[in-house]
Amino acid sequence: EVVAEIQAAGGTAVPNFDSVASYEGAANIVKTAIDSFGRVDILCHVAGILRDRMVFNMTEAEWDAVLQVHLYGAFNMVRNAIPHMIKQGYGRIVLYSSGSGLGSSGQANYSAAKEGMVGFVRSLAKELAPYGITANAIAPAARTRMSEGLFGGLMDKPETGFDIMDPANISPLVVWLASKQSAHVTGRVFEIAG
């Protein structure tokens, strides 16, 4: 669906149906980008799932699934993309964390994964800066398919006025972090409402 939307708007995009949760899947995603476009300049790790449950009821499978997609997915994608970025002497990495990383009832798995990304991005920033690669994280609050129906109507679209939870409000910061103009900004975490 997203590829069709991009193409309909005049852009170029290719689909890939592998999962970031496996190292091999992430390798295939990066390979698809290299094969289609010849290089990888920007990596935005947005993939996410929820398996909400109080920790005393959470299964090991629910814990693992969330960490595999969010935290392991971030490592898998970064690890497969950075050799290409190092070779070209340029890259921008933007990981999607969450304010829930500070703790959220019923989301111990999600909170752990999202706060883990913060430490990961700060380490990446230090390791990759000498190669012309920046790494930052954003902690957006916006309406997504994943958050629909949660938070007691907070995510509902207003009938009139400014829609603070519109995910389109997040895009300008991500575009800037992915640009050459952000070369001096790395290792930061930006909290932003939609």
Q: By C-alpha distance, which of 115, 147, 142, 117 is closest to 43?
A: 117
96 is catalytic: no
Q: Which of 72, 90, 96, 110 is catalytic?
A: 110
Q: Would you please indicate which residues are annotated as catalytic (active-site) residues?
A: 110
